Amino acid sequence: MNILIIDDNTTIQQVLRDILGGTGHEIFSAYTGEEGLALLDEEEVDTVLLDVMLPKMSGLEALERIKEKYPSVPVIVITAYSSVESAIEAMKRGAFHYIPKPFKNEEILINVHKALEQRQLMQANERLMEELKRRYSFSSIIGKSPAMARVFELIRLAAPSTSNILLTGESGTGKELAARAIHLNSRRAKNPFIPVNSGSMGPELLESHLFGHVKGAFTGAVVNKKGLFEAAEGGSLFLDEIGTIPLDTQAKILRVIQEKEFMPLGGIATKKADVRIIAATNARLEALVEEGRFRQDLFYRLNVISIPLPSLREHKEDIPLLVEHFLRLYGQENHKPGLSLTPGALRQLMEYDWPGNVRELENAIERGVVLATEGSIGPDLLPSHIGRPTRPLRKAAPGEKDFSFKKVTEEYQRQLILEALDKAGGVQRRAARMLKIQPSTFNIMIKRLKIPLTPKE
């Protein structure tokens, strides 16, 4: 790693170089604050040893400029003019540590080692944040259908705001994924995102988790415990299955939203809470309000921005994209790159109604990848309840309310093309010959009927 020494004394420069010379790190030297700042602009520096008494720009001023421009770089301040006041001032301005002259070699080595450790942790945290942003960015929520385009637009507009958000939709539609995308694209991204499954805990345990408790608050409370509202300070709290929360707890959550404060169980003092709530439910909260099982005032507070997530059967045209994504993901995890689905397997995925939504599709593809012994996944590797024969074509009759000649003929054409593709192993020219039509006409029909083709890596 790279260490920068900023000191106008050439003897001190050499002493520090001698001390750090055996550590294997690259050492850079600057003799003024201006030189040090210029070098920081040119080189990636991992820690700085800074003298307080420098010509022109003082060390404390240089420290302030460094922390303003490079906040993750730890700065160790060294000076012969040791005093409590200057030490406090250096720490106030963001110094990692303060070492008075004359110093011991071991003291320098220990503190540089600690500073570099902190730098590595901060770099790891930055990489993790970037990975999280990549993983939970809008582009990682798969879908190009109009239904998903509406979801992306709502998330894009809602994320930078300070408003609470309510995500609605069936189980498995990706509500937590959407919540993470909202958090990581908000101004709170550098602070915690904490998910809570509200339906998995009893009332007392849930309140203890959310608000914390003091020692002796209830049987088993042998120590003080910090709650998740406190742990999520400055960040976002994702309350999944909000509709299952008891009314008493709802009242306490409402107080947090309105007053920005809460009281731990058994406590007598309130604590401040700067937390954005992202709630999710697979139930109709309006119906729960009418039944008296959910507070109307809390519903209005949570429902400032509502984002409905569509069920998978409402945007089946996204299934090929989702399949491609999951094939790549689980192919990498299981060292099976390049896997694809047979046309028959893809057809069955398209015809299934997916009560478990995207989560169920993900599980089905993961199973297929794990069981695959060749380069493709056929219907036999899908879960048995999915891999069933194609549904028979509905016999619609003229005169029925929903009868449409165009829809009936298009559905029949779609079935014929899918069957031909299945028999032809996905080769379009071969399938066209089976149907005795020109390959160009066949290709036009595939596009017009929006027939999904087997995903390729």
Q: In terms of residue numbers, what domain contains 96?
A: 2-131
Q: 136: exposed, middle or buried (C-beta count within 10 Å: 0-12, 13-18, 19+)? A: buried
For residue 218, CA distances in Å to 207, 268, 342 come to 12, 15, 58
Residue 422 inside a domain? The answer is yes
The pLDDT of residue 386 is above 80: yes
Residue whose pair of structure tokens reads 């990498």 in the numeric block:
332
Task: State which of 110, 131, 152 marks the end of a domain.
Answer: 131
Q: Rounded to whole angstroms, how far apart are CA atoms 87 and 228? A: 35
DSSP class of residue 389 equals P
Q: Is residue 265 within 8 Å of residue 217, measured between CB atoms?
A: yes
pTM metric for this prediction: 0.60
Mean pLDDT of the chain: 86
Residue 23 is predicted with a pLDDT of 79
Q: What is the pLDDT of residues 293-322, one digit of tens each?
A: 999 999 999 999 999 999 999 999 999 999
Do 351 and 419 sit in the same domain of this protein? Answer: yes
Q: What's the pLDDT score for residue 457? A: 36
Residue 391: the pLDDT is 46
Radius of gyration of the chain (CA): 31
Last residue of a domain, one of 131, 152, 169: 131
Closest CA to 48 of 4, 87, 17: 4
Q: 289 and 327 share a domain?
A: no
- CA 162/CA 185 separation, integer angstroms: 12
Q: Which residues contact 194 (CB under 8 A, 6 or more apart)?
A: 228, 231, 232, 235, 236, 237, 238
Beta-bridge partner residues of 51: 78
Q: In this predicted structure, what is the pLDDT of residue 129?
A: 64
List residues bridging with 50 in a β-sheet: 6, 77
CB 193 within 8 A of CB 231: no
Q: Tell me: do 90 and 187 sit in the same domain.
A: no
**What DSSP state is assigned to residue 196?**
E
Question: Which CATH number belongs to the domain containing residue 80 in this structure?
Answer: 3.40.50.2300
Residues 103, 154, single domain; the answer is no
pLDDT interval class at 234 (50, 70, 90)? very high
d(CA 45, CA 76): 13
Structural domains counted in the chain: 3
Same domain for 170 and 80? Answer: no
Token readout for 184 is 């990581």
State the pLDDT at residue 377. Answer: 93
The Cα–Cα gap between 349 and 320 comes to: 9
Task: Provide the CATH number for the domain around residue 228.
Answer: 3.40.50.300
pLDDT digits (tens, 9 = 90+) for 6-55: 998 899 999 999 888 877 888 999 999 999 999 998 888 999 999 888 88
pLDDT in tens, 248-274: 999 999 999 999 999 888 888 889 999
Percent residues over pLDDT 90 in the chain: 43
Q: Which of 104, 131, 158 is the last residue of a domain?
A: 131
Q: Do 97 and 237 fall within a single domain?
A: no
Question: What's residue 399's pLDDT?
Answer: 66
* Measured distance CA(64)–CA(332) in Å, rounded: 46
At residue 455 the predicted structure's pLDDT band, cuts being 50, 70 and 90, is: very low
193, 227: one domain:
yes
* Structure confidence at residue 389 as a pLDDT band (50, 70, 90): very low
Task: Based on the fold, state whether residues 329 and 296 are members of the same structural domain.
Answer: no
Strand-pairing partners, residue 47, are 3
Whose CA is closest to 301, among 235, 256, 237? 256
**Burial code of 316-335, b = ≥16 C-beta within 10 A, e = fewer?**
bbbbbbbbbbbbbebbeeee
Distance CA(368)–CA(246), nearest Å, equals 41
Residue 344's CATH number: 1.10.8.60
The dihedrals phi and psi of 437, each to the nearest 5 degrees, come to: -130, 160
Question: Same domain for 141 and 277?
Answer: yes
455 domain-assigned: no
Query: Does one domain contain both 82 and 192?
Result: no
Q: Are residues 141 and 194 in the same domain?
A: yes
Which sign does the torsion angle of CA 396, 398, 400, 406 carry? Answer: positive
What value does the mean pLDDT take over residues 326-354? 91
**For residue 136, what pLDDT is reported?**
53
pLDDT tens sequence across 84-143? 677 778 888 888 988 887 888 888 999 999 998 888 888 777 777 666 655 555 555 788
